Amino acid sequence: MKKHNRRIYLIIILMINFILTGCWDNYELDTISIVTGLGIDAAENDDEINLTLQVDKIKGDTGYEKGDIGPSSSFLIMNTTDKGILSAIDKLERQTPRSIFLHHNQVIVFGKEQVKKGIKKHMDVFIREHQMRMETWVLVSDGTAKEILSTPMEQEENSSIGLSKMIFSGSRDYESFSVKLIDLTSRLMEETTSPVIPIITAKNEGGSSEVEISGLAILKGDKYIGELDLEKVRGYSWIMGNCRETPLDINTEYGYIDASISNIKLKNKPKFGADGPFISIDFKGDVTIREIQGFEGMNTEKTFAILQKACVEQLKKEILDCFNYSQDLNADIYGFGEEFYRRYPKDFERMKEYWDEIYPELDMKIEVALEVTDTGKVLNSLYMEEQSDENR
């Protein structure tokens, strides 16, 4: 009897295995279209958006011609206009034989026009829908999102995948270039911070097309008000505290220096001083000299002293430039308001409504301490004076 029972159980278990995969919820690879990029543009109607989906075609062979969007490229673009993101996706679902699968979405691109109108009302879908992940990169396109998603890149056919790889490696230099959906949501939830989003430009030069990161877009509330170009991005990144090894090039009156600052220890503290709140920044770093041009006839001590001073001056200038620019735009891109809230919550409650007036008057006291630690393989450059040697 026992053996008989066991066999019955075994059969039941084996049969249950077939339904364990969830027959209602199975997704077969040839019935889904995998979306790798999602773009939102402004449509002519004010409350409609133009949705672009970049879908990756899964095929075994790689015989695709570059620069083509059509039956022979590895991705296709789907485009429609509707009131909301999900209703646009529903519309697109009716136009394609495969159902739309959003789990592998790499990037979300907003067109600049759309960002000028505001993005907060479209963020709800991204947070709520289960298929959208909080770690997708968010980008702003210099033109329209459709352009970016339709431009094939040189080394990577599918521009979304290429962009996500580019951001991932670019984030090692400037972490401010990588904005995930969760970062954007978190900053939008803070009342005084202006979020920043990287800007992508598509370039079409003589047959070859490239997509590159060209700055940071500044949003106030959720609308676009300005952008930081690449030099100011450097000034921004010094304070955000996430630089690992960042190059710095300076033109002094004696020559040109290319150095890189590494091993950065940054103390970024909001404080209350005699005339009100100010930010105190304490910057310590090591300078590695990468290239020296000029400095004719000077010896090493003088050179390095000038070098160090020049680096300190340049750093201060860059930080202050970016800070003043953000003050002109009245956009708290650094999150100083949030820092005040975190450390002095009771005082900040009083300051919160007036933050728009306080921020342009905010002072920044910068202390920079740099040391030249690494000069490469040689100490002197070819132009500099030889060190005198008694025994010669």
Partner 1 sequence: MKIDNGKISASQFMFTVACFIQASSLLTAFFMSVTKQDSWIVSIIGFFIGMIFLWIYTALMKRFPNKNLVEINDLVLGPVIGKIFSCMYIYFFLTLSALNLKDMGDFVGMAIMPNTPTIVILALFMYICAWAVRSGIEIVTRYSLLFTLTASLIIIATFFIAYNQIDLNNFLPIFNQPFIKYVQGTHIISTIPFGEVVVFLMITPNIEIPINKIRKYFILGFAIGGISLILIVLRDIAVLGNVITLFTFPSFETLRMMRLSGTLGRMEVLFAVILITLMFFKISFLYYVSVLAISQIFELNSYKNLVVGVGTIIVIYSFNLYYSMIQHMEYGSNITPFQWLIYEFLLPLITLIVAKARKLSSSEEGN
**Which positions touch partner 1 (CB under 8 A)?**
16, 19, 22, 24-25, 127, 130, 133-135, 180, 182, 185-186, 189-190, 341-343, 345-346
If the CB atoms of residues 41 and 332 are measured against partner 1, the closer one turns out to be 332
Kindly state the smallest distance separating residue 16's Cβ from partner 1, in Å: 8
- In the numeric block, which tokens belong to residue 277? 């709140």
If the CB atoms of residues 22 and 97 are measured against partner 1, the closer one turns out to be 22
If the CB atoms of residues 24 and 354 are measured against partner 1, the closer one turns out to be 24
Q: Is 21 exposed, middle or buried (0-12, 13-18, 19+ CB in 10 A)?
A: exposed
Helix (H/G/I), strand (E/B), else coil: 351: helix
Cα 193 from chain centroid (whole Å): 16
Q: Which residues, other chains included, contact 92 with Cβ-Cβ below 8 Å and sequence gap of 6+?
A: 51, 53, 78, 80, 100
Kindly state the smallest distance separating residue 154's Cβ from partner 1, in Å: 21
Q: Which residues, other chains included, contact 154 with Cβ-Cβ below 8 Å and sequence gap of 6+?
A: 66, 208, 209, 210
If the CB atoms of residues 50 and 136 are measured against partner 1, the closer one turns out to be 136
Q: What is the dihedral of CA 288, 291, 296, 301, to 10 degrees?
A: 10
Kindly state the smallest distance separating residue 348's Cβ from partner 1, in Å: 9
Closest CA to 319 of 216, 237, 196: 237
Radius of gyration of the chain (CA): 27
Kindly state the smallest distance separating residue 224's Cβ from partner 1, in Å: 22
Kindly state the smallest distance separating residue 130's Cβ from partner 1, in Å: 6
If the CB atoms of residues 43 and 196 are measured against partner 1, the closer one turns out to be 196
If the CB atoms of residues 269 and 317 are measured against partner 1, the closer one turns out to be 269
Mark 142-167 as b/e (b = at least 16 C-beta within 10 Å): bebbbbbbbbbbeebbbbbbbbbebb
Kindly state the smallest distance separating residue 342's Cβ from partner 1, in Å: 4
- In the numeric block, which tokens belong to residue 64? 């695709």
